[in-house]
Structure 1
Amino acid sequence: MKRILLMSFLVICLLMQSCDDDFLVNPPEDQVAAEYFFNTGKDLEVATNDFYTMLPTTGTYTDDGSSDNMMQLTPAARIRGGRIVPTERGSGGWNWTRLRDINFFLENYNKVEDDMAKQHYSGVAKFFRAYFYFDKVVNFGDVPWYGQVMEAGDPELYKPRESRQIVMDSVLADIDYAIENIPEQVQLNRITRYTALILKARIALFEGTFRKYHNIDGSDKFLNEAVSASQELINSGAYGIYSAGGPEEAYRGLFARDDQDVTETILARDFDQELEQHNLGYLMTAPTMGGWGMTKDAVNSYLMTDGSRFTSKEDFQTMEYYEEMQDRDPRLTQTTAGPGFTVIGESSPEPVSLDASTTGYRIIKALPPRSQWNAAYFDVIIFRYAEALLIFAEAKAELGTLTQGDLDISINLLRDRVAMPHLMLSEANTNPDPYQENLYSNIEQGENKGVILEIRRERRIELFNEGLRWQDLLRWKEGKKVEQPMVGIYFSSLGAHDFNNDGTPDVYLHQGDASGAPSGVTSLINVMQKPLTNGTSGNLDPFSDGGEFVEPKDYFYPIPIEDLQLNENLEQNPGW
């Protein structure tokens, strides 16, 4: 597939003359290229292959580093309030080249006489147009809708932004067309009807909850669309929950294996040792690279194995590492390194090292075997079935139609994978979790508040580090969440600490002089460089300046200055 995509990309760049163009128009040579190219069903396949380059790759497993889930070595601009208005035309995400390519295809595919190919690949093109515009609305809110190729001088090029209501209705129409026209196949690396269903569910949940919590009309319409799309995927029976290795291995194994399969994975980016590698293994292990560390409130959100709340323990805030890792939801130590953490493919536990983690909670979800720490080739999941289950439960909860039966065919299947007790609707609503409620100041205060909090907990845990957390904060109107402390492991004092409870200290905290460290210590922490919240005790505090989020400004990105100058009908987003 990689060779096909590479060749397709080169062919389409030559035909469309748009690879280095940031605008919506191109020279008239395009029409000549279309006359000679759009003749067979194979031509349509080759043309749409290029659109796959729009999909995310390794960024899927790093984006949470720019949210409240993980802290990285250099805090991201969007959580520290450091975004600025870009100057250059087409920068900062305000780029329309790929839309021009998609519209060019949709204006020319009908030249082909193969009706089945036309139906299939026009559906793929509209999938990608829906994908393109959804990304634009998430980032910018109102945007101009262009449903055709623009020619130089066309006044439509200089029109104002349409409302998100108009744009999102068009997105919904495109993704519905894709669902209706793309074949119902199970294919790991190709867009199918099932891929269109999960994209629709994601889009509709985002838009429905965004409208609900930002007080925009039309939320129920999109929440119902989210239910119908996710339920159709569930009822299809095409996918299930990956469980190989049992509760103590399945969740971690799903992401760390070299090659995905179609048990749970709906769409993956395919990598190969010989053809295409990536650097995720290096970013996750080199001390001077990502440095990603799970935040303490994310760790606190994992339940005990009996289903009770960790945060109900009196000393949960001052519990040290070994104790806090005991008897927890198995996904915790399949996401961050727990006591006795062992690298995949090895038999001996890895020496405790906090060097590659800002918070001390080292990320191991999707960490490959040691042989791939310099150059990795494990596949990256883009869409998986678990997300559809979470969407189904959340949309129904927000609509007020959720039943225990709904939870049993969604959230509780995810809990079954790790042998966790089921989420019970009545219990959740009778006794909402005060810790979770404190995380989300804008949560609905109705009778479903408790179960909505539990679904948010489940979503954060299950989809941790899969690139969706920032969108979740935006749609729930919880941008201020990034202003809550993003700290790490708690230490009661300086000196030696036994992380594995084997009688031998692993970690030694000091103030510039490590000469007192016992032999066998594998991780030295100078609190002058990696401070604690209380000086000589407290949590690791890699982001002592704290996050900043300005309402409502920071829910959207700014439009570049040059684009505003070129089109006087565009208006900048509020606050920028």
Structure 2
Amino acid sequence: MKRILRNIYLLLGLCAIVGTTSCDKFLTIDPEDTFTKDNYWTSEANVKLYAWKFYDLFLGYGNGTGTSSEFYFQNSPTAGCINISDDLANATFLKYNTTSVTTSSEWNNYYNQIRAANVMLEKLPTVPMSSEAAKHWEGVARFFRAYCYFALVQRYGDVPYIDKAASYTDDAGIYIPRTARATVMAKVIEDLTFASENMRVNDGATSINKYAAYALLSRVALFEGTYVKYHGIGNGAEYLTVAKNAADAIITSAKYTIGSDFKAVYNSIDLSSGSAKGEVIFYKKYLPAVLMHSIQSYTNTSSAINGLTKVAAESYVCSDGLPINQSSKYKGDNSLNDVLTERDKRMSAVVDAQGYGYADKTLGGLTSSTGYIICLYNSWIPPVKPVTENTTNGQNHIDAPVYTYAEVLLNYAEACAELGTCTQADLDKSINKLRTRAGLPNLTILGSDVTVNGVVINDPKRTSTLESISGIVSPLLWEIRRERRSELMTWTFIRYYDLMRWNKGEYLDSSKNPDVMLGAKLVGVTLKNTKVNADGYILPYTSSSVRTFESPKNYLNSIPLSEITLYATEGVELTQNPGWNK
């Protein structure tokens, strides 16, 4: 098995090299090589080899010492601002770009991959294979084309939609104005619907299948349905129905289940076995000396790591299922033991219970920006020390989840609630399964209220001034969103785009949401190098560090200026996003 995977990753790397082209022109053309000549498209085996080039799109925990990841990592934003989170405070202060970017590697990479998918779709009819195989591989190509267009829409909104492969002699139809996002997303839904209906149930543990397609379809449709709803450009019902049905297709298949160990989804050496096996729909495989990453070493380094924010820590409910402002079980936050006592079990899986780590008092040499030490990815149980490979950059090899059953259940519950059709049965088949694992009582619908053990949940934060900025949601949606945050905590890629689709950019604004720039509370300790506010909460940054979220500007990235210029030379106007022209 390891030999096979080693060969796969070597081939994947080769394909990535072959597929990488100059970024001097929009939608650059792949070299004329054996991967695009007609004589290559002669067997299903060759098609499968070609398709491996797409798998680098899944970031997982990153590659080598890089920090491009869907989890935990945060870097100074260049092409966009996906790295800013209200769950984690980066060790170095982050704020939004104020001017348009000149170039974007993401823009170029996604369009290069789109062209590769279009090549595959055009060549498939010439390949001798069964009808079943042909439909499966068409589904694979359409899955990845949809994946790329969805990523572009998330970042840029309207984008040029091209469904043909350009050639050296004919690039007609390539330089076109931005296509309306509704049109692009309709094509994305169409591609993923085909993929989910025609891809194989199983094409290998490290290959996408029909359930990965359903999972992406539920993610995509939920995103767009809520985005258009909360940004006032539609009611989103059609998308939300697609999201609900796609998630339900996975639920009713009975192929997946919620495991007994929440943490195992994020810290397993091998996600094809163990308690997380039945919960992870698709994952990125890592192997020693083949493909490795650095998420464990970065969270176990002597340098300050990204820490949980005060607002994130306070979002976890108590063991009675009530928010901290309502529960009699909440012990306060004068110590870490108080914070973690009688709380949602997922909190102690994310935060190291041994103690805080900050400049004046490390936790075994570890410090974080906020005092909270992230331990979610540790594949050992403290106080046992990790082996050297876990603390060496580029040597970590725990597998990374890409699509999980937990996310699917969350998608289902939210889609139901957004459609206004959520029943008790819907909650019981979805997020109540997650709450049971977390040691929490079930949520129960009672008219317009939500209860636990007969007590109506009344979280004062739901109707706070912060929530009033863009709109207060129902008690049911509030608790579903809380559940999503608790279950997917530190999955920064998902959290960021959750805030964007909900029209909640103010959560990231340090003036409107001061708690996003605070950490743990320190009581009765002498401090020399650690700054705290008047109430004793750690200040990760200087008083001059201010992050402003501008609406509507920061809901979308700027269109790269080089692309605008290039299009102009072709006689086509590529318009800029709102707020980025100044």
Q: Normalized against structure 1, the TM-score is what?
A: 0.85
* Residue 533 of structure 2: aligned partner: 533
Structure 1 position 396, deviation (Å) = 0.6
Q: How does 1:295-314 map to 2 (within 5 A)?
A: 295-312=309-326
Q: How does 1:228-267 map to 2 (within 5 A)?
A: 228-243=245-260, 250-261=261-272, 262-267=277-282
* Residue 29 of structure 1: aligned partner: 32
Mapped contact 1:482–1:547 kept (Cα < 8 A) = yes
Q: Mean Cα displacement is larger for which, 298-307 or 60-69?
A: 60-69
Aligned CA distance change for structure 1 residues 189 and 117 (closer, same or farther; 3 Å): same
Aligned CA distance change for structure 1 residues 147 and 432 (closer, same or farther; 3 Å): farther
Mapped contact 1:91–1:560 kept (Cα < 8 A) = no
Aligned CA distance change for structure 1 residues 17 and 30 (closer, same or farther; 3 Å): farther
* Residue 80 of structure 2: aligned partner: none
* Residue 396 of structure 2: aligned partner: 376
Distance 2:145 2:253 in 1: 25
Mapped contact 2:322–2:457 kept (Cα < 8 A) = no
Q: Secondary structure in 1 aligned to 2:402?
A: strand
* Residue 508 of structure 2: aligned partner: 482
Structure 1 position 442, deviation (Å) = 5.9
Mapped contact 2:370–2:539 kept (Cα < 8 A) = yes
Mapped contact 1:436–1:457 kept (Cα < 8 A) = no
Distance 1:17 1:53 in 2: 12
Mapped contact 1:202–1:226 kept (Cα < 8 A) = yes
Distance 1:265 1:235 in 2: 16
Q: Normalized against structure 2, the TM-score is what?
A: 0.84
Say whether residues 1:62 and 2:60 are aligned partners.
no
Q: Secondary structure in 1 aligned to 2:271?
A: coil
Distance 1:309 1:216 in 2: 33
Structure 1 position 326, deviation (Å) = 1.0
* Residue 578 of structure 2: aligned partner: 574
Distance 1:538 1:207 in 2: 41
Q: Which amino acid aligns with 1:135?
A: A
Structure 1 position 431, deviation (Å) = 4.4
Q: Per-residue CA shift, 1:455-512, capped at 9, x if unaligned? A: 011000001112310000000000011121221111235x3xxxxxxxxxxxxx323x
Distance 2:369 2:20 in 1: 45
Q: Secondary structure in 2 aligned to 1:539?
A: coil
Q: Secondary structure in 2 aligned to 1:425?
A: strand
Distance 1:538 1:479 in 2: 27
* Residue 226 of structure 1: aligned partner: 243
* Residue 521 of structure 1: aligned partner: none
Structure 1 position 542, deviation (Å) = 0.7
Structure 1 position 8, deviation (Å) = 4.6
* Residue 400 of structure 1: aligned partner: 420
Mapped contact 1:303–1:309 kept (Cα < 8 A) = yes
Structure 1 position 322, deviation (Å) = 2.3
Q: Which amino acid aligns with 1:157?
A: I
Match of 2:164 among 139, 148, 152: 148
Structure 1 position 355, deviation (Å) = 4.0
Q: Secondary structure in 2 aligned to 1:382?
A: strand
Structure 1 position 351, deviation (Å) = 8.1
Distance 2:30 2:107 in 1: 24
Mapped contact 1:187–1:267 kept (Cα < 8 A) = no
Mapped contact 1:428–1:451 kept (Cα < 8 A) = yes
Distance 2:144 2:98 in 1: 28
* Residue 517 of structure 1: aligned partner: none
Match of 2:450 among 428, 436, 439: 428
Q: How does 1:154-233 map to 2 (within 5 A)?
A: 154-185=171-202, 187-233=204-250
* Residue 78 of structure 2: aligned partner: none
Aligned CA distance change for structure 1 residues 268 and 67 (closer, same or farther; 3 Å): same
Mapped contact 1:22–1:97 kept (Cα < 8 A) = no
For structure 1, the residue ranges without an aligned partner over 5 or more in a row are 244-249, 342-349, 496-508, 512-525
For structure 2, the residue ranges without an aligned partner over 5 or more in a row are 62-68, 75-82, 381-385
Q: Give the aligned length.
A: 521
Percent of aligned pairs with the same residue?
31
Aligned CA distance change for structure 1 residues 20 and 459 (closer, same or farther; 3 Å): same
Q: Secondary structure in 2 aligned to 1:490?
A: coil
Structure 1 position 94, deviation (Å) = 5.0
* Residue 352 of structure 2: aligned partner: 337
Q: Which amino acid aligns with 2:403?
A: F
Q: Which amino acid aligns with 1:60?
A: E
Aligned CA distance change for structure 1 residues 92 and 198 (closer, same or farther; 3 Å): closer
Q: Per-residue CA shift, 1:132-167, capped at 9, x if unaligned? A: 000000000000100001245634232110110000
Mapped contact 1:92–1:560 kept (Cα < 8 A) = no
CA RMSD of aligned residues (A): 2.6
Aligned CA distance change for structure 1 residues 317 and 141 (closer, same or farther; 3 Å): farther
Q: Mean Cα displacement is larger for which, 558-567 or 353-362?
A: 353-362
* Residue 66 of structure 2: aligned partner: none
Structure 1 position 313, deviation (Å) = 5.9
Structure 1 position 318, deviation (Å) = 5.7
* Residue 40 of structure 1: aligned partner: 43
Structure 1 position 188, deviation (Å) = 3.3
* Residue 480 of structure 2: aligned partner: 455
* Residue 418 of structure 1: aligned partner: 438
Say whether residues 1:561 and 2:561 are aligned partners.
yes
Q: How does 1:79-90 map to 2 (within 5 A)?
A: 80-82=95-97, 84-88=99-103, 90=104
Aligned CA distance change for structure 1 residues 27 and 240 (closer, same or farther; 3 Å): closer
Aligned CA distance change for structure 1 residues 251 and 46 (closer, same or farther; 3 Å): same
Q: Secondary structure in 2 aligned to 1:56?
A: coil
Mapped contact 2:281–2:403 kept (Cα < 8 A) = yes
Q: Which amino acid aligns with 1:336?
A: V
Mapped contact 1:241–1:264 kept (Cα < 8 A) = yes
Mapped contact 2:25–2:566 kept (Cα < 8 A) = no
Q: Mean Cα displacement is larger for which, 31-40 or 294-303?
A: 31-40
Aligned CA distance change for structure 1 residues 154 and 54 (closer, same or farther; 3 Å): same
Distance 2:17 2:97 in 1: 35
